[in-house]
Structure 1
Amino acid sequence: MSTALKHTPLHSAHLQAGAKMVDFGGWDMPVSYGSQIEEHHTVRRAAGMFDVSHMLNVDVRGKVAAASTSAEAQDAATGEQGVRAFLSRLLANDVAKLTVPGKALYACMLKPDGGVIDDLIVYFFDETNWRLVVNAGTADKDIAWMQQVARDEGFEVQIEPRRDLAMIAVQGPQAREKLWAARPHWKAPTEQLAAFNGVYIDADTLVARTGYTGEDGFEVVLPATQVGAFWDDLVSQGVLPCGLGARDTLRLEAGMNLYGQEMNEQVNPLISGLSWTVSFKNPDRRFIGRDALEAITPDQTLVGIKLLERGVMRAHMKLRSAQGDGELTSGSMSPTMGVSIGMARVPLGLQPGDAVEVEMRGKWMPAEVVKMPFVRNGKISV
């Protein structure tokens, strides 16, 4: 018996716009609204937007927050059982880096054996008020894991999934101006926002300078009841609705990992190009998975691959090199570059410029290792 797909608050808007819908992590989501290539190029050259309301915003608060704002309460919130201590234990990246309200950090949540439960963004607002943004397909297990860690290890935190919120990513070189045209009163609080920072416009509207495309722009979280009007206002300003197809080619060009492809519960961050997100700096911070990672000597790494002949690389294709064998984790045609690109897990030691071969329909095709990102801010970098 099949389970009904979940719908975001913009589902009817996608259907009215003629979107081609697909099952994505149990959600009925638009893969494109017509031309995936046009959507991709529009984000690189102007401004496009994505419904990312299937992703889950999760508020993590200190239990003392509502009871008191006294100095003693603040001390309790930041102490051994507070939110910061909880997230310090939960995440492989170090939330000690977050001291300025609104600052965000990309991090992985690991199993004790070092496998990746999910990759996420964590925001700091004050010591008793934090937010995580987690992937759609992993949201339920993420919440269960957080609650288990809090319960088993005695952390005094409240974990609140915010399904009452929706989220739109507005991306591209014209994204900021188009957003301000749609919401002029948002310009003042967001104009000076640095990358990977967010600001609350009101109690439930968060605008963050983040994204998943390699372009500038904002991700906007707002009440689900308001998202339809916001979407329509952006359309009226010439922001093109874009689907998951363009989102995938954009993130691949930007060299950004996708959960379930570059990493998962069986694959640790050290061989997923994510060692930069694992902070071993503080020897006293025993985050979950640290012991396992410290015992690992990685013999693989994640690299960019460019195909040198016609064809399209795909995930799970085999790769061979002078250093040994590997496998594509992601692959597609790059609309910006006009060639096929991919990411591959390969033996340690392969360097940009090294020759490799990719098996495609029984033939070994020439390719080369390249430095990522392939494209950033509209410009080809390889």
Structure 2
Amino acid sequence: MSRQTPLHAAHIAAGARMVDFAGWDMPVNYGSQIEEHHAVRRDAGMFDVSHMLALDLEGPDATTWLRGLLANDIAKLKEHGKALYSCMLNPDGGVIDDLIVYYFSPTSFRIVVNAGTADKDVAWMRQRIAATAANVTLEARRDLAMIAVQGPNAREKTWAALPQVRAASENLKPFSAVAVDDLLVARTGYTGEDGFEIALPANRAEAIWNALLAAGVAPCALGARDTLRLEAGMNLYGQDMDEGVSPLDAGLAWTVDLKDEARDFVGRAALVAKPATRAVLGLILEDKGVLRAHMPVFTAHGEGETTSGSFSPSLEKSIAFARLPHGVETDATVEVDIRGRRLKARTVKLPFVRNGKALV
């Protein structure tokens, strides 16, 4: 049986269509996925992301241990609440998960991992703690819910619903978080728009969701979240990367920090030994059809494959990410095999859309 978030009853009451997602009963839409998508691009929408797992890492060895665990270097984090996006790799350089780390002090961090990989992630982290004899504790915070409020008017509408957070969050920089009473308000997201991701006690989730609803924030679900992150050029674990794919081949080389030669993180040796063999570009379909994942792409430099694809409500065209041979440049014409037909597409630099504006 699928697990339920603290907002499950609110989704049912709102008439959401529910589906199983990574073992959780989650809303896929509340009626119109397109309208939800546009609400985020043009105004403000909110998502229940309580299925994701927050982990609190504490202890004298927290900084050293994280520097050995992650491909990105958390030594960059100096300010309280500052966040970092990173991949967590296996020894072969494959991606176990992509995650966000929030810095509170050299001995205190919060890590937010994906729902579908949460159990695997925790098991791997505990294994690494034991293997390194690190003096740290790792606590899974299933007592928390998380709500993402995204869009050009997201912050103003959050402050209307939760006026107590305005003073602390008004000058909050992107990719930073601040604690306000029992809430953690982070200026992060997965849509390519501004806004907040709010971690809060599970028993307060429905009241805060309803307050945001009353402030004019539209409830949005998994369907819109996927088209928004696709337009924004943001990877989805399990589609755009997994344990068999290096971050260097998944368009995530920018998250791999090799500057400190003395820092040996899990997977480093494998990445150094095997540089990137693929480049990730966006595709815009020029013929009629819909791009999906795992479609062959034919280029002048060899064959590639789409990893994520869908119809873009903002561009009103079909778009995709494609893992292509090196040498393929932007604005090149390629062909995609869609049900046995080779249809023309154009390569573009990611992202497609950011902050409400088309970039291609």
Q: TM-score, normalised by structure 1?
A: 0.94
Give the aligned residue type for 1:40. Answer: H
Give the aligned residue type for 1:314. Answer: R
**Aligned-partner Cα distance in 1 for 2:288–2:214:** 39
State yes or no: 1:251 paired with 2:248.
Answer: no
| Structure 2, gaps ≥5 residues long | none
Task: State the Cα deviation string for residues 133-166 of structure 1 (Å, max 9, x = none).
Answer: 0000000010000000001111100000000000
**Aligned-partner Cα distance in 1 for 2:112–2:355:** 24
CA positional deviation for 1:309: 1.5
State yes or no: 1:40 paired with 2:18.
Answer: no
**What's 1:150 paired with?**
129
**Aligned-partner Cα distance in 2 for 1:370–1:194:** 29
**Aligned-partner Cα distance in 2 for 1:309–1:319:** 14
**What's 1:52 paired with?**
49
Correspondence 1:100-179 to 2 at 5 A: 100-179=79-158
**Aligned-partner Cα distance in 2 for 1:332–1:57:** 29
Give the aligned residue type for 2:66. Answer: L
CA positional deviation for 1:185: 1.5
271, 275, 292: which one aligns with 1:297: 275
CA positional deviation for 1:297: 2.7
**What's 1:367 paired with?**
345
**Aligned-partner Cα distance in 1 for 2:86–2:95:** 10
**What's 1:14 paired with?**
11
What is the Cα-based RMSD across aligned positions, in Å? 0.6
Q: What percent of counterpart residues are identical?
A: 61
**What's 2:77 paired with?**
98
Task: State the Cα deviation string for residues 70-90 of structure 1 (Å, max 9, x = none).
Answer: xxxxxxx2xxxx100010000
CA positional deviation for 1:95: 0.5
State yes or no: 1:338 paired with 2:338.
Answer: no
**Aligned-partner Cα distance in 2 for 1:353–1:13:** 45
CA positional deviation for 1:349: 1.4
CA positional deviation for 1:261: 0.6
Give the aligned residue type for 1:374. Answer: F
Give the aligned residue type for 1:298. Answer: A
| Structure 1, gaps ≥5 residues long | 63-76
56, 64, 81: which one aligns with 1:85: 64
Task: State the Cα deviation string for residues 215-260 of structure 1 (Å, max 9, x = none).
Answer: 0000000000001000000000110000100000000000000000
253, 267, 271: which one aligns with 1:275: 253
**Aligned-partner Cα distance in 2 for 1:198–1:36:** 29
Q: Is the 8 A contact 2:62 2:136 kept in 1?
A: yes
SS for the counterpart of 1:41 is: helix
State yes or no: 1:356 paired with 2:339.
Answer: no
**What's 1:317 paired with?**
295
SS for the counterpart of 1:14 is: helix
Q: Is the 8 A contact 2:79 2:103 kept in 1?
A: yes
